[in-house]
Amino acid sequence: MSLSVVVKNALYLVFRPVVWVLFYLLVWRQPRASVGPFDVIALSDSDDIAMHVAKFGEAADLLRELDPARFRRIVDTIRLIVVDDHARSFDAQYYHFARAMVVRTDALKLCYPQAVAALLAHEATHGRVADMGIWEHYGISQRVERLCLRNEIWCLEKLPGAEALLQTKKDRLARDDVM
């Protein structure tokens, strides 16, 4: 393990409680809605929490009905879904300390339920990897992303109407374009 990885891990351990407190202060007083086992919080300017709740509700219903084992794993991993206008450049990101998934608002606007279900499966895979004690760093992040992408593909194979998205994900995995 290189020195930079050791330093990064040490900084993570030192600052993790600070990040945890800041995250909870940010979302603690925000309006929230429950979608099955998930709490959805909208930090977006539009405050259209009903639209976000509906999207995650449809995806949760699809997964519960068509892939109950995967749905249980997702529920065990993700407890809180935060929809944010100002999220990072990724469509979604998993925060293990809060068992939360932060999703960019634009990533949800054009999504249909199958894509949201695949997004849940992808981020839950990040959580399961973290639960195993494997912390992502530059050396393994591409391998973890490939695992997450394969999990998305397995999820989409069980969902009706996801053929185009499934083919896109398979092509992306074949091109080795996972980051």
| CB neighbour list of residue 58: distance below 8 Å, 6 or more residues apart | 113, 116
pLDDT in tens, 12-53: 677 777 777 877 777 777 878 888 889 888 886 665 778 888
| Integer angstrom CA distances of residue 130 from 5, 92, 119, 125 | 16, 16, 17, 9
Which pLDDT band, with edges at 50, 70 and 90, does 140 fall under? confident
pTM over 0.85: no
User: Do 32 and 83 touch, CB atoms closer than 8 A?
Assistant: no
| CB neighbour list of residue 154: distance below 8 Å, 6 or more residues apart | 70, 121
pLDDT in tens, 93-139: 898 888 999 998 888 877 889 999 999 999 999 999 988 888 776 67
**Residue-by-residue DSSP string for the chain:** --HHHHHHHHHHHHHHHHHHHHHHHHHHTS-EEEETTEEEEE-SSS--HHHHHHHHHHHHHHHHHH-HHHHHHHHHH--EEEEETT--SSSEEEEGGGTEEEEEHHHHHT--HHHHHHHHHHHHHHHHHHHTT----TTTHHHHHHHHHHHHHHHHHHSTT-HHHHHHHHHHHHHT---
The whole-number pLDDT of residue 138 equals 64
Mean pLDDT of the chain: 85
